[in-house]
Each structure stands twice: as structure tokens, then as C-alpha cells.
Amino acid sequence: MPRCDPGDARPGERCHRQRFRRRGPFRASRLGGLQHVKGGCPATDESLSNEVKAHGVRVNAILPGTIDTPQNREAMPNADPSTWVKLEEIADAILFLASDAARAVTGASLPVFARG
């Protein structure tokens, strides 16, 4: 796409950068990447796990829901944060996957969602 300065657009036209102005909590240009990660992470995780498990390396992924952070509370003031995942819950999932209790777990994509 050609480079342009939004100030160069003629009246009634928009520069391509103006089409992707911030809307809501996400920038439009980042949504495609978010969907790619959500859909591609389990496949990548499993593939990488198959490549390195013979060397004793485990590969797992945490797939959290909306995380309860000050930034998310600010960006989504009308949402109900009681349904969001707390950082401690994500840490618990990571500690489990890193523990001996999960020594046979590899190639897993673990969804972590709050109750609600």
C-alpha cells in the first residue's frame, strides 16, 4: 500500500491509515493478528512439541480469556470484570504445567477462563 500522510488526502477521501483509526479497545490493524494467534497457537504448539519431545523438552500453551488488568478495565468500562481471568489463575496454570505433576503433558493448549 502506498505511503501517505493523512493530511495529503483530498476532501472527501481518506488516507489508508485513516481507515484503521482506533475503534474500541483494539486497533483494527491488530485484530487479524489476534485471530491468527488464537487459531494457530494450538497447531504450532503441537507441531513444535513433536519436534522437541525426544530431547525431553515440553511445549505447552496457555490460552487465557479476557485478563483482569487495569488496562482492560479502563478500555472496557461497561464490561463485567468478575468474568475475567485473574493473573493469579494464569500463574497457577503455568505453575502446574511447569511442575512434575504435568511431566507427561506436552503439546497441550490449555484454555484458562474465569467462572462466570
Question: Where do the domains of the chain lie?
Answer: 18-112
Predicted model pTM = 0.63
Q: Contact at 8 Å (CB) between 103 and 41?
A: no
Of 38, 108, 45, residue with least CA distance to 66: 38
Hunting for cell 491509515 — which residue is that?
17
Measuring CA to CA, how many Å separate 69 from each of 20, 40, 76, 88?
25, 25, 11, 11
**CATH fold for the domain made of 18-112:** Rossmann fold (3.40.50)
Per-residue confidence (pLDDT) for residue 4, from 0 to 100: 52
pLDDT tens profile 17-76: 444 444 445 444 455 555 556 667 777 778 888 888 889 999 999 989 999 999 999 999
Distance CA 48, CA 3 (A): 37
Per-residue confidence (pLDDT) for residue 16, from 0 to 100: 47
- What nine digits make up the cell of 42? 494450538
